[in-house]
Amino acid sequence: MKKFALLTHSIKHTLSPGMWEAAFKSLNLPYTYEALDIQPSKFESIKYGYDGFGVGVPFKEDIISFLDELTPEAKEIGAVNTILKEGNILKGDNTDWIGVTKALENIPDISSKKVLVYGAGGAAKAAIYALNRLSMLPFVTNRTVSKLKELEGKFKIQKVEIQDLPQVDILINGTSIGIDKTEIFPLTDEYLSKVSWIFDMVYGDTNLKVRGEKLGCKIIDGREMLIYQGAKQFELFTGLEAPLEAMRKAIYLG
Question: At 165, is the secondary structure helix, strand, or coil?
Answer: coil
Please give the full DSSP string across 16-85, using - where no structure is assigned.
HHHHHHHHHHHTT--EEEEEE---GGGGGGTTTSSSEEEE-TT-TTGGGGG-SEE-HHHHHHT--SEEEE
Task: Name which position in 147, 218, 248, 249 contacts ligand ATR (CB under 6 A).
Answer: 147
Consecutive H or E run containing 116: strand 115-118
Smallest gap from residue 64 Cβ to ligand ATR (A): 11
β-pair partners for 252: none
Respond yes or no: is residue 60 known to be catalytic: yes
Tell me which of 58, 113, 246, 248 binds ligand ATR, using CB under 6 A: 58
Which entry of 60, 125, 209, 232 is annotated as an active-site residue?
A: 60
CB 121 within 8 A of CB 174: yes
Q: Is 13 in the site for ligand ATR (CB under 6 A)?
A: no
**Stretch of residues binding ligand ATR (CB under 6 A), selected from 42-50, 55-63, 128-136, 188-196:** 55-63
Enumerate residues 6+ apart whose C-beta is below 8 A from 41: none
Quote the least distance from Cβ 153 to ligand ATR, whole Å: 16
Instruction: Find the shortest distance in angstroms from Cβ 27 to ligand ATR.
Output: 29
Among the residues of the chain, which ranges form H helices?
Answer: 16-26, 72-77, 96-104, 122-133, 146-154, 189-192, 207-214, 222-238, 244-253
Instruction: Determine, following the binding rule CB under 6 A, whether residue 206 of this chain makes contact with ligand ATR.
Output: no
Q: Distance between CA 211 and CA 205 in Å, rounded?
A: 10
- Binding-site string for ligand ATR from residue 78 to residue 97, where x marks contact by CB under 6 A and - marks none: -x------------------
Q: Which residue is nearest to ligand ATR (CB)?
A: 121
In the complex, what is the shortest distance from the CB of residue 175 to ligand ATR, in angstroms, rounded to a whole number?
Answer: 3
Which one of residues 16, 94, 141, 175 is an interface residue with ligand ATR (CB under 6 A)? 175
Amino acid identity of residue 50, one-letter, is Y
Question: Applying CB under 6 A, which residues contact ligand ATR?
Answer: 57-58, 60-61, 79, 119-124, 142-144, 147, 175-177, 186
